[in-house]
Amino acid sequence: MNVKSLKIDMSLIKIPKSNNKGQMAVELAITIPIILIVMVIALDIIMFMLECEKFDNYVEQLSISCASSIKGNAYKQSECDFLIEEKLQLEFNKFNESINLESLEAGLLNDYVEYKVTLHMAPWPLNPQGIKIFGVEIPTFLSHSKSLVVRPFVPGRF
């Protein structure tokens, strides 16, 4: 049988016509909001990761510099805590951020200071007070903690 001589009459084949006109528009109308929500969540995660990296570096620099430098001849823990918290609040006051600073004396002779600083961030479209879904409160903030132990400089002590 010669393939070239075989001819198919296309008028005999009936292709059913579909009534799916506009289905692509409906699918697009459903998927675009989902894609936008995923993009907002991804951007929030990226912003939080960048803020965490900046926060870690800034906390280390502030706590070490404050513990190693004193005003006058006496180290005052309350002054150093106030200075660190004030500078952190000034630096991290965007993106619905808040700072929590705790300082504890550590070591056998209480000659070390442990700083535990926490960064709280509420992602952009969410309310920082929380969301209730079916009576269950879901927290809508992300938090990141940094803990650091330093030995403050005291003149005459090794």
The pLDDT of residue 126 is 61
Average pLDDT over residues 13-23: 69
DSSP class per residue in 54-111: HHHHHHHHHHHHHHH--STT---HHHHHHHHHHHHHHHS-STTEEEEEEEEEESTTS-
Cα 33 to Cα 58, 124, 132, distances in angstroms: 37, 16, 22
Give the separation between CA 149 and CA 21, rounded to whole angstroms: 67
Q: Is the pLDDT of residue 2 over 60?
A: no
Query: What residues pair up with 147 in beta bridges, in sequence order?
Result: 116
The answer to whether the beta carbons of residues 56 and 88 sit under 8 Å apart is no
pLDDT at 32: 92
d(CA 114, CA 148): 6
pLDDT tens digits, one per residue of 86-136: 888 888 887 678 888 888 877 666 678 888 999 988 876 666 566 676 777
pLDDT of residue 66: 80
- pLDDT the model gives residue 73: 46
Q: What is the pLDDT of residues 43-82, one digit of tens each?
A: 888 888 998 999 999 998 888 888 777 654 455 677 788 8
Q: In angstroms, how far is CA 44 from the centroid of its own chain?
A: 6
pLDDT at 34 over 60: yes
Provide Rg for the chain, Cα atoms.
Answer: 31
Q: In what order do the strands lie in the sheet with 112-121?
A: 97-106, 112-121, 142-150
Range in 25-29, 74-78, 100-104, 150-154 with the lowest mean pLDDT: 74-78
